[in-house]
């Protein structure tokens, strides 16, 4: 075990659980970066390793119009790589590989999300790294796992959603499969991998040994939505698309309110919910209507019921109506926009949303990671800007590895570092 490796999470670095843990981040797109984002939020030092000639692809993926793209102004990259340091090393060069090996020797965790075999081509597979540092924990995030017939398949969010049967159960009744938000599976897998890393760090406190974590996006998605697999096993059928419906319960959906594109989401389950809803919406006639006298009858007549509810909400303010329903014991909320979140008093007062100043994008209000540590005094959830491309390379390599100025200049002149 190296001098740096702590053997497990501590409470250094401002009291954060992963203070003193160093993470080498060989990731791109969303799944891997989201994993290391969680680790950074918990206090780990995250070094994002990028090639001087091949940065993270999402560095040049823009969401803003009329902006000249640079390697630093992609909102997708900026929001997924908060609190990290950028270190540019060409991993295709043997000298670059040697620098990475030296960093592994003084690190705790390696995260990567290349297809199986790619890291091995650059002498950065787990067998090579664990030989250098037996205590290192490596999390490899892939689409379909490191073994099996699909291991070499490329994976992006929409293809994972289709592969896992998620798309076949998403959409409206009678309609085609519908894709969902593209990075849903990436974010889930990043969180799952970070949880596995935390468990491995705890285990290392006892054994002193690292391990290899095989985190498959496909398995993650299936594991958090097991209903379809259960239905297929027990009933011989999958989960059909059902739009906003919750099978067996009505009303359950989103209903238009006053104003442009304003809606309220309402969910009822018990008879008390139904009674409270009709009282707030002044639908006394529905209480006496045989079509809506029980949960089963409301489900059977849900289309007509949805029309009645929508007529009653159309002239209401979504925010006021949601509060009235909540006060009456009905689960309801306005369907909020991203702009609404920026002005939410609770999110702002709790410190969840905070202004971050980026070198090129300027100041923006961004969310922190959703955790609190109530047992530790004066521990606030950190947030900080994403790194500019290569901004920390020299400082990190000289500070961690002790590179001489002449060595640094030679490596930079030959493109090994950037």
Tell me the pLDDT tens digit for each residue of 374-386.
766 666 789 999 9
Query: Which of 127, 126, 124 lies closest to 138, judged by CA?
Result: 126
Which DSSP symbol is given to 304? H
Give SS3 for 32: helix
Query: Which of 378, 387, 317, 403 lies closest to 98, judged by CA?
Result: 403
Comparing 193 with 64, which gets the higher pLDDT? 193
Contact between 31 and 190 (Cβ < 8 Å): yes
pLDDT attached to residue 237? 80
Q: Does residue 108 register a pLDDT over 70?
A: yes
Q: Does residue 9 register a pLDDT over 50?
A: no
Query: Looking at 7-16, 160-169, 187-196, which range is the least confident one?
Result: 7-16
Contact between 49 and 107 (Cβ < 8 Å): no
Contact between 69 and 396 (Cβ < 8 Å): no
Residues 254, 409: Cα–Cα separation, whole Å:
61
Comparing 156 with 25, which gets the higher pLDDT? 25
pLDDT attached to residue 194? 98
Across 106-115, average pLDDT: 97
pLDDT attached to residue 62? 63
pLDDT attached to residue 156? 85
Q: How far is CA 67 from CA 41, 57, 229, 345, 356, in A?
A: 29, 17, 45, 31, 20
pLDDT attached to residue 6? 37
pLDDT attached to residue 390? 97
pLDDT attached to residue 12? 40
Q: Does residue 415 register a pLDDT over 90?
A: yes
Query: Looking at 218-222, 226-230, 389-393, 397-401, which range is the least confident one?
Result: 226-230
- The structure tokens listed for 21 are 């843990």
Strands 263-267 and 252-256: antiparallel
Comparing 118 with 242, which gets the higher pLDDT? 118
pLDDT attached to residue 218? 95
pLDDT attached to residue 5? 40
pLDDT attached to residue 376? 61
Q: Does residue 8 register a pLDDT over 50?
A: no
Comparing 2 with 363, which gets the higher pLDDT? 363
Please, what is the average pLDDT of the chain?
91
Residue ranges of domains in the chain, CATH in brackets: 22-225+357-413 (3.40.50.10540), 252-339 (3.30.1540.10)
Task: Label residues 331-357 b or e (16+ Cβ within 10 Å = b).
Answer: ebbbbbeeeeeeeeeebeeeebbbebe
pLDDT attached to residue 69? 84
Across 40-49, average pLDDT: 97
Contact between 48 and 25 (Cβ < 8 Å): yes
Contact between 210 and 204 (Cβ < 8 Å): yes
87: phi > 0 → left, psi -120 to 50 → alpha, else beta; which? beta
Please report which confidence band the pLDDT of residue 10 belongs to, taking 50, 70 and 90 as the band edges.
very low
Could you read off the pLDDT of 124-163 as tens digits, one per residue?
Answer: 999 999 999 999 999 999 999 999 999 999 888 889 999 9
% of the chain exceeding 70 in pLDDT = 94
Give me the sign of the Cα torsion angle 135, 47, 21, 352.
Answer: negative
Contact between 139 and 31 (Cβ < 8 Å): no
pLDDT attached to residue 1? 35
Query: Which of 161, 311, 285, 289 lies closest to 225, judged by CA?
Result: 161
Please report which confidence band the pLDDT of residue 225 belongs to, taking 50, 70 and 90 as the band edges.
confident
364: preceding bond cis by omega (within 30 degrees): no
Please report which confidence band the pLDDT of residue 165 belongs to, taking 50, 70 and 90 as the band edges.
confident
Could you read off the pLDDT of 320-370 as tens digits, one per residue?
Answer: 999 999 999 999 999 999 999 988 888 888 888 899 999 998 999 999 998
What is the 3-state composition of the chain as percent helix, strand, coil, each rounded to the nearest 5? Answer: 40, 15, 45
Query: Read out DSSP for 264-284?
Result: EEEE--SHHHHHHHHHHTT-H
Q: Does residue 89 register a pLDDT over 90?
A: yes
Contact between 366 and 354 (Cβ < 8 Å): yes
């Amino acid at each position: 075990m190296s001098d740096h490796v702590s053997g497990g999470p501590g409470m250094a670095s401002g009291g954060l659980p992963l203070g003193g843990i160093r993470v080498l981040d060989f990731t791109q797109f969303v799944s891997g970066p989201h994993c290391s984002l969680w680790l950074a939020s918990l206090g780990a030092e995250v070094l994002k390793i990028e090639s001087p000639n091949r940065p993270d692809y999402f560095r040049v993926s823009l969401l803003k119009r009329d902006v000249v793209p640079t390697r630093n102004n992609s909102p997708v990259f900026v929001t997924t790589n908060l609190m990290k340091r950028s270190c540019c090393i060409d991993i295709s060069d043997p000298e670059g590989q040697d620098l990475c090996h030296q960093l592994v020797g003084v690190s705790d965790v390696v995260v990567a999300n290349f297809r199986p075999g790619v890291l091995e081509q650059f002498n950065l597979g787990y067998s090579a790294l664990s030989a250098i540092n037996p205590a290192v924990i490596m999390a490899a995030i892939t689409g379909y796992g490191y073994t099996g017939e699909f291991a070499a398949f490329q994976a992006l969010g929409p293809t994972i959603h289709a592969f896992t049967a998620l798309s076949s159960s998403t959409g409206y009744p009678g309609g085609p499969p519908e894709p969902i938000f593209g990075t849903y599976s990436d974010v889930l897998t990043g969180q799952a991998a970070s949880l596995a890393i935390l468990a491995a760090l705890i285990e290392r406190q006892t054994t002193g040994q690292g391990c290899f974590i095989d985190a498959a996006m496909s398995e993650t998605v299936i594991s958090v939505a097991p209903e379809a697999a259960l239905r297929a096993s027990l009933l011989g059928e999958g989960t059909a698309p059902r739009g906003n419906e919750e099978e067996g319960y009505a009303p359950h959906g989103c209903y238009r309110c006053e104003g442009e594109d304003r809606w309220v989401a309402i969910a009822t389950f018990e008879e008390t919910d139904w009674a409270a809803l009709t009282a707030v919406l002044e639908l006394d006639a529905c209480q006496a209507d045989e079509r809506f006298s029980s949960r089963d009858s409301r489900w059977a007549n849900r289309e007509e019921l949805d029309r009645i509810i929508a007529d009653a909400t159309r002239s209401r303010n979504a925010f006021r109506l949601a509060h009235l329903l909540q006060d009456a014991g009905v689960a309801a909320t306005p369907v909020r926009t991203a702009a609404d979140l920026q002005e939410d008093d609770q999110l702002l007062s709790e410190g969840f949303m905070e202004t971050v100043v980026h070198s090129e994008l300027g100041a923006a209000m961004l969310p922190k990671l959703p955790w609190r540590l109530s047992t530790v005094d004066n521990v606030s959830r950190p947030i900080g800007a994403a790194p500019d491309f290569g901004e920390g390379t020299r400082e990190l390599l000289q500070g961690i590895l002790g590179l001489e100025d002449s060595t640094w200049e030679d490596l930079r002149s030959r493109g090994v570092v950037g």
